[in-house]
Amino acid sequence: MTAGRRIRAVVIDLDDTLLSAYRRPDLAWRSVCQVYQTELGDLAPDVAARALTEAGRAFWSDPDSHAVGRADPKQARRVIAAKAFEALRRDSSPTVSPEIAERIADAFSLHRDRQMRLEPKADAVLVQLRDAGYRLALLTNGAGPLQRAKIERFGLASRFHHIQIEGEVGVGKPDPGAFRRVFAALNVDPPEVCVVGDSLEWDIRPAKALGCFTILYDPEAGQAVGRGFGDAHVVTRTLASLAPHLQERSSPPGRMDRAGRRSRRAD
pLDDT in tens, 6-35: 999 999 999 999 999 999 999 999 999 999
**Residue 221 pLDDT class (50, 70, 90 cuts):** confident
Q: What are phi and psi of 140, to 5 degrees?
A: -140, 145
The pTM of the full predicted model, rounded to 2 decimals, is: 0.87
- Give the integer Cα–Cα distance in Å for 109 and 102: 11
Q: What is the DSSP letter of 191?
A: G
Evaluate whether 170 touches 67 at the Cβ level (below 8 Å): no
Q: Directed axis angle between helix 242-249 and helix 122-131, to 10°?
A: 30
Looking at per-residue pLDDT, the higher value among 264 and 165 belongs to 165
| pLDDT mean over 163-176 | 97
Coil, helix or strand at residue 27: helix
Nearest to 103 by CA among 25, 48, 50, 147: 48
Average pLDDT of the residues of the chain: 89
Above pLDDT 70, what percent of the chain? 88
Reported confidence tier of residue 230, pLDDT bands at 50, 70, 90: low
Q: Is 201 left (phi over 0), alpha (psi -120 to 50) or beta?
A: alpha
